[in-house]
Amino acid sequence: MHLFDVTGKKAVVTGASRGLGRGMAEGLLESGAEVVLLATNPKLAEIAEDYGKKGFHCHALIADIGGRAEREAAFEKALSLLGGRIDILVNAAGIQRRHFSEDFPLEDWDQVIAINQTAVFHLCQLAGKKMIAQGHGKIINISSMLAWFGGYTVPAYAASKGAVSQLTKALANEWASKGINVNAIAPGYMATEMNSALVADAGRNAEISARIPAHRWGTQDDMKGPVIFLASAASDYLNGAVIPVDGGYLNR
């Protein structure tokens, strides 16, 4: 068996219609996995159809994972599309809200925590039950540089991503002995829609780029290799890791 082979594996990727989620879903598809793209984007069916035309085994599932009942229904639908099995879960869905902390609306706080933190735990739990019964599985959460740094005007996002890192370790402690690998990727500064304001800010862009040893922002393609590694047999003895994919930013 090839260490990095995920041919025929059944995967669910949340937030898969754009940005890093799209890149990771594409990487898994290119490596032979059958993937359910789960997102709220109304164009998701077109995206899945385009992948299908390229010969990839792909499904579109338009769903909002912000609420408990909606998450459970979406997960059951995803399982149905995959024939009742899930080998890989990638929790890539995430939202951002920016306000000074003293003025941060509690409604925005609740929304960020619901998507970035509570939904991640719930989907891990739903997938974990299936994977425990199967005796194997790979769960890949998406943390952030803000699991180490506090950020600025993003207290809810920073709190949620810190929680994702700790949740990843907590689940690994319980599930490693059951054949399940739970790990996280912490992207650095990525040129995605979520960071469009930073990319457009010439001053901040230059400041950030100067600190990155690779001297460039990351792209969604930079997430493909790490997610394939964590989804494959190559990472079978890796558990509870939070892997920075940041061009070396943390080193500076």
Q: pLDDT digits over 135-145, tens only?
A: 999 999 999 99
Architecture of domain 10-247: 3-Layer(aba) Sandwich (3.40)
Catalytic residues: 157
| pLDDT(197) > 80 | no
Q: Which residues contact 4 (CB under 8 A, 6 or more apart)?
A: 31, 228, 229, 232, 233, 234
- pTM for the model: 0.95
Q: Which residues contact 197 (CB under 8 A, 6 or more apart)?
A: 98
Domain boundaries, the chain: 10-247
What is the mean predicted confidence (pLDDT) over 24-52? Answer: 97
Which tokens belong to 206?
Answer: 């230059």
Integer Cα distance of 51 and 59 in angstroms: 9
